């Protein structure tokens, strides 16, 4: 092996070791489990309430979108519909107190994400002082959920849709740590992690079409509506693992880029 090849291998091993260490320094698996539980109890209800208040033009509610996305049918589709309240029922039961409760619950998820990025990028904790930016981030999620399918339909061709999806994902996952870290890091410091997350979440979305329908069908047949919850929680855990892995990986990449910049600056 040439000197250049050996140095590349050594750099790759060093990066992998640093990534591994950072993942476990933030207690990656425990963090992913906590985030998935918070998303299930807080973020999903927020999306359900939003979809009931601002339904899409095709009239699909959250359950219908879940069924269409994973091509569910038969008893599994019926169980998914039964597991989620219809939009008309949600609309009739919404009041100021329930909306406030959903928002407060969703903020607990945003603080969980905030702690993930603070640990990944080794930033001091902001705690409740960042609540305002947490609310802005939740609004960003709502806007993203609304615009993503509309923009995807505008462009024809699978390749173009993939590029648009990755671009929108990168924009979302750049703004996410920027807001949740209180603007303490520059946008370009967050881009490596944003692209990692966009690619990771896209890969999860593609592979989910293979395994998630079987999981939700088997769980629904065995446990009914509770089985739908189990299957959805398993998907959220997989998504949370992707978030933790890509956040820590992006932080390590940024640190290595900054270290190289510092070395170049010292030489000049």
Task: Classify residue 181 by burial, with Cβ atoms within 10 Å: 0-12, 13-18, 19+.
Answer: buried
10 occurs within a structural domain = no
Domain housing 64: 18-267
Domain membership flag for residue 129? yes
**64, part of any domain:** yes
Give the integer Cα–Cα distance in Å for 229 and 5.
49
CA–CA separation, 48 and 225 (whole Å): 16
Task: Kindly state whether residue 80 falls inside one of the protein's structural domains.
Answer: yes
In a domain, 3, yes or no: no
DSSP-derived 3-state class of residue 127: helix
Mean pLDDT by 10 residues, the chain (268 residues): 69 87 92 91 69 56 70 70 60 62 82 95 90 91 78 66 82 94 93 94 87 81 78 90 96 90 79
Does residue 122 lie within any of the structural domains? yes
Q: What is the pLDDT of residue 223?
A: 77
Alpha carbons 39 and 36: distance in angstroms, whole number? 5
- Residue 53's closest CA among 86, 87, 95, 81? 87
Q: Name the domain count of the chain.
A: 1
């Amino acid at each position: 092996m040439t000197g250049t090849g050996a140095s590349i291998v050594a750099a790759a091993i060093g990066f992998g070791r640093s990534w591994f260490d950072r993942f476990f320094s933030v207690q990656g698996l425990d963090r992913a489990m906590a985030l998935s539980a918070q998303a299930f109890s807080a973020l999903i209800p927020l999306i359900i309430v939003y979809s009931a208040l601002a339904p899409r033009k095709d009239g699909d509610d959250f359950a219908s979108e879940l069924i269409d996305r994973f091509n569910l049918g038969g008893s599994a589709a019926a169980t998914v519909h039964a597991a989620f309240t219809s939009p008309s029922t949600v609309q009739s039961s919404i009041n100021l107190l329930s909306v406030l409760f959903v928002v407060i619950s969703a903020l607990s998820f945003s603080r969980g994400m905030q702690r993930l990025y603070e640990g990944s990028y080794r930033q001091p904790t902001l705690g409740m002082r960042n609540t305002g930016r947490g609310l802005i981030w939740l609004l960003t999620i709502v806007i993203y959920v609304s615009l993503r399918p509309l923009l995807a339909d505008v462009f024809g061709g699978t390749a173009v849709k993939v590029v648009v999806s990755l671009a929108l994902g990168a924009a979302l996952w750049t703004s996410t740590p920027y807001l949740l870290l209180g603007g303490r890091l520059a946008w370009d410091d967050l881009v490596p992690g944003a692209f990692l997350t966009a690619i990771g979440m896209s890969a999860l979305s593609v592979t989910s079409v293979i395994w998630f329908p079987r999981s939700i069908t088997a769980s629904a047949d065995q446990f009914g509506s509770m089985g739908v919850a189990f299957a959805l929680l398993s998907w959220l855990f997989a998504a949370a693992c992707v978030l933790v892995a890509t956040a820590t990986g992006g932080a390590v990449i940024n640190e290595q880029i900054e270290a190289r910049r510092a070395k170049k600056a010292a030489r000049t």
